[in-house]
Amino acid sequence: MRRFEVVRTKHDPCESSVCSIMIYLLLLVLVFAGPASCCGAQEYRTSLGQCCPECHEGTVVVRDCTVDSGTRCGPCETGTFMNRPNGMTKCFSCTSCDPGLGLLTRQRCSATSDSVCGVLDGFFCRTRSETGCSLAEKHSACQHGQRIKQPGTSRNDTVCEDCPGGSFSPDGVSCSPWTRCSKGQIKVKDGSSTSDVVCSNAARHRFCLLLPLALPFLTLCWCFH
């Protein structure tokens, strides 16, 4: 009579560990994905895990739904808004367009939309946001010896450039060419980037130069006279 031998295989501990990890991960997916998937596109999940209809724009949840009644919603108070269907209990605060920051109100806040801020004249927007501009800055003033290359706008600051040679700007707005002394005049002061050439009548200039030299002689003559 033939004997049958039963061959025993060793159990691989690695296979058991991998299997346990896979089961654990699957349970995590079911725990976290399960409750979220129970609510529809226009529903929200309460703290008790119940699915309730969302409130419309301009309103928030006052009381969650029950078996006998739907969600109770209330309007946003003045100074607040809600711009989307929601399951929230508080509205968002309206953005303040502060003139002290160079801002003005382009669109007032309503129950369903936030304020839209613009910039005051003479300012440009430094930081933009979903509600327009959140921080503005005053246009830069060009220095003496410079001119405005590009005026400032609501989006960009002023662009300045130095006056080219032979011109000057005392106010930082525009550059003017140096004056050319006419016939009969002489230049008594050179021009610079901030000041013009100074001209003087040649005869008058000579008189002014000779007067200090002649004054002692005239004084001496007067004394002897």
> Is pLDDT at 51 greater than 90 in this prediction?
yes
Burial of residue 117 (CB within 10 Å: 0-12, 13-18, 19+) is: buried
What domains can you pick out in the chain, each with its CATH number?
Answer: 39-93 (2.10.50.10), 96-138 (2.10.50.10)
The whole-angstrom separation of Cα 193 and Cα 146 is: 8
pLDDT of the residue at 179:
96
**Token pair in block for residue 30:** 């079911």
pTM reported for the whole predicted model: 0.60
pLDDT tier at 1, thresholds 50, 70, 90: very low
Distances (CA, A) of 194 to 75, 143, 188: 63, 9, 16
Q: Number of H helices and number of E strands within the chain?
A: 2, 16
